[in-house]
Structure 1
Amino acid sequence: MLWALAGVSLPAMGQESAVSCLILPWETIELAAPTEGIVTAIHAERGETVAEGQLLVQLNDALQRAYLATVSARAGDESALRQAQVRVNFTQSAVERNRPLFNAKLMTADEWEQVLGSHEIALIEVEAARAALDQARLEVDRAEVALAQTRITAPADAVVLERLSSVGEAAGGEPVMRLVVIDRLRVELFVSAESHQRWTNGRTVEILARFPSEARHTATVTAVDPVSDAGTGILRVQLALDNSDRQILAGQQCGLAETAAP
């Protein structure tokens, strides 16, 4: 844990000193397959820069494609609905044609009820056909989601840190690739708890990085732990450090140089 590094002593620099300072990737992302399947293709290797939404790993999708084709055909088949509508038109005509006969008492009540019942059944069949089409369209949405889950894409602009799977291996649950976001870096600063009132969100400070060359960089406080470590009297502060040019090496110790803004 990072707390274990709080015992590392770095030289005090400037107006304030840090017990320990680390520059880390802003985020480490472990990509796992959302569904079980066999890896059929890997589209990125270690060290490659990937863009948000870029396809990284493809799972076998033959079953999902077949299911999508089946439900799409069902959702596009309106023959049952058209047949039910024809039956409604036919029974409606029968009602209109037989109403004068019933009113003139030339048709028995049972015969009239049979005509009305046939029309009501036809109306129900139209509703059932429409409901079946709606259900089929929902199945299409479900099939599209299932197909999309066979494509593992980058959730953010990042760099591939490690490939954890190979073509032909089974995926599902375990990470298949590890990414790091380094366009912005996370600085973990461990300071004396006595200075907690000086650390507020939005404050900017100068961080001294040693690689690739010793230089100062402005970082902004994004979070301050509400609790310090009782045993060491150390408080952890998180800062954001711009690294859009990717020149600052993540994974190095750093130092607190001086306050850039009060």
Structure 2
Amino acid sequence: MKKNVLNCVGWALAGLSASFAAVVAEAAGPVAATAPLTTTSAAGSGQAMLGCLIEPDKVADLGSQVIGVLDGLRAERGDYVRKGQVLAQLRSDLERATADVARTRAATEADLRSAEASRDLAQQKMRRAEDLVVRNFIAHQALDQARADLQVAEQKVLQIREQLRVWGREVSVAEAQVGLRSIRSPFDGVVVERYLSLGERVEEKPLFRIARIDPLRVEVIVPAARYGTIRAGDLATVRPDLPGAVPLDATVSVVDRVVDAASNTFRVRLSLPNPDHRLPAGLRCRISFDDAPARPAGGKNARLIDGLRMEASLNPPPKMR
């Protein structure tokens, strides 16, 4: 009998202990949930290494505005070229001949000199007619005729001068057509590929591919948890996957405003100076951002955890009843 009573008392004490522990945990729960949360994240400390790709700053496939036959090549793959440098020449015999004819016609002054001589003669006739009218040797009708002839001669001079200006503009048009037969580089860079050879017909297919490698462009995909910690103008350390390559500093130029929902990432573009063209494009690399986490938009009780803002409440926990 005593043994049964002791067992009942033991079970009752165990039940009271469990109930008291549950009440304490429930009361402490809100405190633990609202306390300031701090964690050391590799991404927040700037020590995390992300994979990246070094690309040319600009790439252009050069074509021709006109259809023609490739007559000359002045650049090959691997050559460094300057902006405006002629890389190829199309056959332009007809265009050059047309430009020569336009120059000759614009330089012709015989018609202008003839018109000026006729104007001078008309002026002399008018003066003579005015003198004869004063002496009553001729009628006023003859004087009117002389004045009309002078006006016609002056208009003829103006017409020829305007025609010469038009011919001068035709020279510019002809020279522009000749210029279209020259393929020029749009910027400083290196010839990546040459697609056509001498004698081939140039239509829609490009002739060259030009890439600008100073500066280089670094593309990196960053987890969305780091959105807001990277801004345009920030510095980052780029380590190219090339034997003997030293770490280089790059500047953030573009930060995407849209996060890719499928991968939960966003893209960042950086500019990497390459004045001596020592670093080739197309390399893989690793990058680390040395910036500090952005200050939360909330109050002083806000914390950043893995790039997300957490707000901590300082309200006291509810009292136990």
* TM-score bracket relative to the smaller structure: 0.7 to 0.9
**1:14 Cα deviation from its structure 2 partner:** 6.8
Q: Does 1:56 align with 2:53?
A: no
Deviates more, 1:163-172 or 1:189-198: 189-198
Say if 2:49 and 2:286, in contact at 8 Å, map to a contact too.
yes
Query: Greater relative contact order: 1 or 2 (C-alpha under 8 angstroms, separation 6 or more)?
Result: 1
Residue 112 of structure 1, CA deviation:
2.4
Deviation at 1:105, TM superposition (A): 4.5
- Partner-residue secondary structure (3-state), 1:206: strand
Q: 1:166 is matched with which residue: 194, 197, 214?
A: 197
Equivalent of residue 244 in structure 1, options 258, 270, 275:
275
Segments ≥4 residues shifted beyond 6 Å: 11-14
1: CA distance, partners of 2:77 / 2:207:
12
> Which runs of structure 2 are paired with 1:98-177 in the superposition (5 Å)?
98-177=129-208
Structure 1, unmatched stretches of 5+, are 1-10
Q: Does 1:66 align with 2:77?
A: no
**SS in structure 1 of the partner of residue 219 of structure 2:** strand
Give, as a single letter, the amino acid of the residue that structure 1 aligns with 2:287.
L
Distance of 1:141 and 1:159 partners within structure 2: 31
Q: What is the alpha-carbon distance in structure 1 between the residues aligned to residue 262 and residue 50 of structure 2?
A: 14
RMSD, aligned CA: 2.3
Q: How big is each residue's C-alpha offset from its partner over 1:212-254, in whole Å with a ceiling of 9 and x where there is no partner?
A: 4353111011122222223322211111111222222311222
- Gap change, CA 1:187 and 1:15, over 3 Å in 2: same
**Structure in which a larger fraction of residues adopt strand:** 1
- In the alignment, the residues of structure 2 paired with residue 76 and residue 129 of structure 1 have an alpha-carbon distance, to the nearest angstrom, of 12
In 1, Cα distance between the equivalents of 2:80 and 2:141? 78
Which amino acid in 2 is paired with 1:197? G
Q: Distance in 1 between matches of 2:274 and 2:292?
A: 20
Q: What CA distance in whole angstroms lies between the structure 1 residues aligned with 2:137 and 2:292?
A: 99
Instruction: Assess if the C-alpha contact under 8 Å between 1:65 and 1:147 holds in 2.
Output: yes
Cα distance in 1, alignment partners of residues 132 and 167 from structure 2: 43
List runs of 5+ in structure 2 lacking aligned partners.
1-41, 294-321
Question: 1:5 corresponds to which residue?
Answer: none
**Secondary structure of 1:222's partner?**
strand
Residues 54-63 or 210-219, more deviating: 210-219
How far apart in 1 are the matches of 2:130 and 2:277? 84
- C-alpha separation in 2, matches of 1:188 and 1:84: 69
Distance 1:55 1:212, change over 3 A: farther
The code of the aligned residue for 1:90 comes to L
- Tell me the alpha carbon deviations over residues 164-200 of structure 1, each in whole angstroms, 9 at most, x when there is no partner: 1111111134311111111321001111234232222
The residue that corresponds to 2:218 in the other structure is: 187
- 1:31-46 to structure 2, matched below 5 A, reads 31-46=62-77
Amino acid at match of 1:208: R
CA radius of gyration, larger in: 2
1:27 matches 2:58:
yes
CA distance in 2, matches of 1:137, 1:66: 16
User: When the two structures are superposed, what TM-score results if normalisation uses the length of structure 2?
Assistant: 0.72
Aligned residues: 252
